[in-house]
Chain A
Amino acid sequence: MLSSCSSNAILTKIRAILGKRLTEADYAQMARKNDVGEVAALLKENPSYAAALRHVEESQVHRGQLEALLKKDLFYKYSALRRYDFSGQDFYDFIFKQVEIDEIIRRLLLLQSGEQVDFVVDLPSYMLGRTSFPLMDLARAKNFSEILACMPHTPYPALLKRFEQEDIQQVRVLDCEHALYSYYYQYLGQTIRKQFRGETRKQLLDIIHAEIEAQNIQAIFRLKLYSNYSADRIRPYLYPYTYKLKKQQLDALLEATDFDSMCKAFLPHEHPPVTQEDGIESYLHQFCYHLERRLLRFTTQAPVAMYTFITLRRIEVENIITVIEGVRYHMPQEEILKLLIL
């Protein structure tokens, strides 16, 4: 009874927040602005972001700061919604796992690039003390073994140990990323199968498989077109889950040689135009976005609503960041709008 009430509360709250989401007209208005400060001023007027940005001083705000505030707001919204969950299910912890994995990958990349910017600068401080290992220790780690040492009692050292190299430049981050995300998707799938039944399980697995499939397709395009990888070299980097893609389509995609034939291998007959200039990413993001939006609109299951809400809100934040970047580099409004996931 309590669990069903909490479920309804989460759904209602999510729909209320979504009611205030940014529209295409809002983005267009933002894209017309001349600098980041003006965008911040506009966002401050929006009921969805007014509270998060109330202390921002438009004339002094920095792009990175604004991004950090938006991401923090997303986390606080998640925390506020989580308070209504009395089921005790740890499925909702997916957000922490994701942050942990992303931060480990970011740390590795920064170390490889010679740490031009301190890792700590972009560290989400609202996550300090909430993750399964201290993020500040990760920030202090100076090589691969220190990274592994700073997260004892977590599954990550076991996953990464086989990639350890004394020279950080020798570490293949792509392999590390694949290992970490393979674990993440496996964890997510197991948690969903353990904790949910029926419609909830089906909808959650559907959406996660759709996301993974999009990731796989994106990986194939990138590895094939930019790194000239062969089909056999690409296969180990694919996650073993599919949504709609059939085995023959996947094989055809892997064997295809250019952008157009790759698109032909998996895109449905009637699809919006996809050009090599725009890349496949835009199409895949749009596909997942619309799928999740539709699911969120019709679902009556709180976990599905929560998962899709977090994803959609993250996309909204990414859209805002895209607009801010565009405004900062004085891109024309139409060009900025083309880059958004709407």
Chain B
Amino acid sequence: MSIEKMRLVNLVGNLSDLDQTLLRCVQSEVFAPEMAINTLDKSSGFLPLSGENPHAQQLKQLYDLAEDVHAELSRAELPEGFDCDQAAAEIKRVQERVQQLSSERREKRERIDHMEQALIQIEHLHGLDVKFDDIFSMNYVKVRFGRLPADSYPKLAFYDNKTFFFFAFDHDDAYYWGVYFAPATKITVIDDIFKSLYFERLRVPDYVHRTPEEAITNLNKALDEDRKRLNEIEAELAKIKESEADTLNRCFTVIKAASDVFALRKYVATVNNRFYLEGFIPVSEEKKFQKEMDTMDTVSCVFQPDDANPTLTPPTRLKNGRFSKPFEMFVGMYGTPGYRDFDPTLLVSITYTLIFGIMFGDLGQGFVIALIGAVLAFWKKMDFGRIMMRLGISSMVFGFIYGSVFGLEHVLDPVFHAMGFAEKPIEVFDSNTTNMLLIAAIGVGVCSIAIAMMINIYVGFKYRNIDKAVFSQNGLAGLVVYLGTIIAVALLMLFQVNVLNPVFIVLVIVIPLFCIFFREPLTKICTRHKNLKPEDGIGSFIMENFFEMFEYLLSYVSNTMSFLRVGGFILSHAGMMAVVLSLSEMMSGAGSVVVLIFGNIFVMCLEGLIVGIQVLRLEFYEIFSRFYSGDGKPYEPAVISYRPER
């Protein structure tokens, strides 16, 4: 539960050693580079390193080649001495094999595409009861078949004075399908007009001689032949893919590495044939990185404290235990913690797991969620799967306490009897239990909010921010008012003990509220600021703070009440399962089992999702908003990306 400490690394060396240095940095997998040129004094002559990536073209060729043979590129083991030159030669060799087939395939596809378009268009000419031969044999009148965009159709009215006729056979909301006739002497002008209106001409193939119906038959025949040849080409390319996949992957591995390493040059600054590179590494990786760099005598590698360069913000690398590690995903959704901030991952992992279990307590359904989570975690390597495993187990624990298994509320009764209980520990539908559940939910809320406030106070003191730590609504003053009031109300309602005497009211409520109201001038006094007068005048200050104070008090109540949903969902879950069971009882035989199974699946999907979102909402709005800003910079070390896409 912490943020890993960083070291600032400065690397300086001769330009001739740059490529090797960058390669070491990438191989170390821990070096997060910074834009050196932005932090250096430009008057000292430092310049950014320019130059086009020499591997970009080869990489493009490789991607094109992989696309041509439908291969997915991935990292491969490299034989000894396999370098970029050899890779280029291999690419050229495979390209020669593929090129002819690929261009033939492209031609075939274009032809098929064209014929399919022609087919669609001719199908729209069904209304034409004239043979194509008769139309095309006219000497003084030229004819053009095709389609005109519907937008262009009304524009034809503009050309009333031109000598052409357009007949539409058919139309939909996008096109008018038809033919235009124009005198042979004017056809060039008329063609230009239609072209400017985006008329798409249908080139009626030479072999189409008769009526549109017969033309369609002929086109279908030609299409079949072309599709057959296309399939043959695809089969040949598939064979090439099979035989050359390893070669392509080897080329990809070597060229991608060279290209990605070259791309790191943008972080480098140069002066007098020397390069300068800086970046952060985690303190725990210092020795490993040092060892990597020690092999290069001419490159100086200097480790400095993380705050050595005040213009640079160290990146944040979260360090969490096995249990809370997957929950970094949720924290990341809100924003990466600042380098010197508090990492809330452990808090999230505990509260999220606990509240989810309470709200979605069912031994059977929890088991299914944990099982699905395990599959996603171990098979698909998904972090969310790991979260589901934890949530599922929590749901099982609370399901056991509620005595609920797939909505069956009394299946576990014999187990409880054997354990010496008269009945299950918590009967959700008991009216006394309902009240207790709602009060407990409020208790969970109070604890969560109080913890969030305490963290805010800790962070405030850490940064020496008196306003945040002491006078804010989430600072010491806010905590005293909030907890003091809650404790007083709880004592009065649960134990009939009234502590609300004048001393308590003044100390616990009035003084802290006064501090919150006058937080601005009080902070100024504490920080020895001279001008205590509010910037916008006293009237505005009082008005503003009066409404803010009102909002704070209201939010203490509403935020606490927000946790009522925790208790509400326990009841809603039990209620929904009761409906499923009632429906199941209304059916008989296999129908009953089917309803029970699908009912459980429905409740798991719907409620699981809703509870998951609600808990996240509680985390983000009621807890995070009190202390967490999430404006840190994620730690992204330079690595070679072997992802198959461009």
Contacts and interface: CB of A to CB of B under 8 A. Distances in A.
Interface string B183-196: 00000000001001
Interface stretch (B109-117, B417-425, B527-535, B561-569): B109-117
Contacts of B113: 59
Interface in B165-219: 172, 174-175, 193, 196-198, 200
A137 to B, nearest CB: 10
Nearest to A122: B196
B117 A60 contact: yes
B149 interface: yes
A60 B199 CA distance: 10
Interface in A41-91: 54-55, 57, 59-60, 62, 64-65, 68, 72
Given A57-B117, A136-B158, A32 B196 contact: no
B198 A128 contact: no
A60 B114 CA distance: 9
B-side interface size class? 20 to 34
Interface in B145-176: 149, 151-152, 154-155, 157-158, 172, 174-175
A-side interface size class? 20 to 34
A68 B196 contact: no
A123 B152 CA distance: 9
Contact of A72 (B114, B151, B158, B197): B151
Given A65-B198, A118-B193, A121-B197, A59 B154 contact: no
Given A55-B174, A65-B149, A60 B155 contact: no
Contacts of B151: 68, 72, 125-126
Contacts of A1: none
A17 interface: no
Contacts of A59: 110, 113-114, 117
Interface string A24-43: 00000000100000000000
A140 B200 CA distance: 25
Nearest to A126: B151
B155 A120 contact: yes
Interface string A138-165: 0110000000000000000000000000
B646 A32 contact: yes
A117 interface: yes
Contacts, number: 40
B152 to A, nearest CB: 7
Contacts of A117: 196
B117 A128 contact: no
Contacts of B154: 125, 128
A28 B117 CA distance: 30
Nearest to B158: A120
Contact of A136 (B157, B172, B175): B157
Contact of B198 (A54, A64, A118, A140): A64
Contact of B200 (A60, A64, A136): A60
Contact of B155 (A32, A55, A72, A123): A123
A126 B174 CA distance: 12
Contacts of B646: 32
A68 B154 CA distance: 15
A54 B200 CA distance: 16
A100 to B, nearest CB: 18
Contacts of A140: 158
Nearest to A54: B174
Interface in A245-302: none
Contacts of B149: 65
A121 B193 CA distance: 9
B36 to A, nearest CB: 18
Most buried by A among B114, B151, B197: B151
Interface string B26-40: 000000000000000
B564 to A, nearest CB: 27
Interface string B96-126: 0000000000000010011001000000000
Contacts of A54: 174
A59 B203 CA distance: 14
A126 B196 CA distance: 17
A57 B200 contact: yes
A233 B510 CA distance: 67
Contacts of B152: 125
Nearest to A125: B151
A9 B154 CA distance: 34
19 contacts: A32-B646, A55-B172, A55-B175, A57-B117, A59-B117, A60-B200, A62-B198, A64-B198, A65-B149, A118-B158, A118-B193, A120-B158, A121-B155, A121-B196, A123-B155, A128-B154, A136-B157, A136-B158, A140-B158
Which 10 A-B residue pairings sit nearest by Cβ, starting from the closest? A55-B174, A120-B158, A65-B198, A125-B151, A121-B196, A120-B155, A60-B200, A125-B154, A62-B198, A59-B113
Interface of A: 32, 54-55, 57, 59-60, 62, 64-65, 68, 72, 117-118, 120-121, 123, 125-126, 128, 136, 139-140
Given A59-B113, A126-B151, A128-B154, 7 more contacts: A59-B110, A60-B200, A68-B198, A117-B196, A121-B196, A125-B151, A139-B158
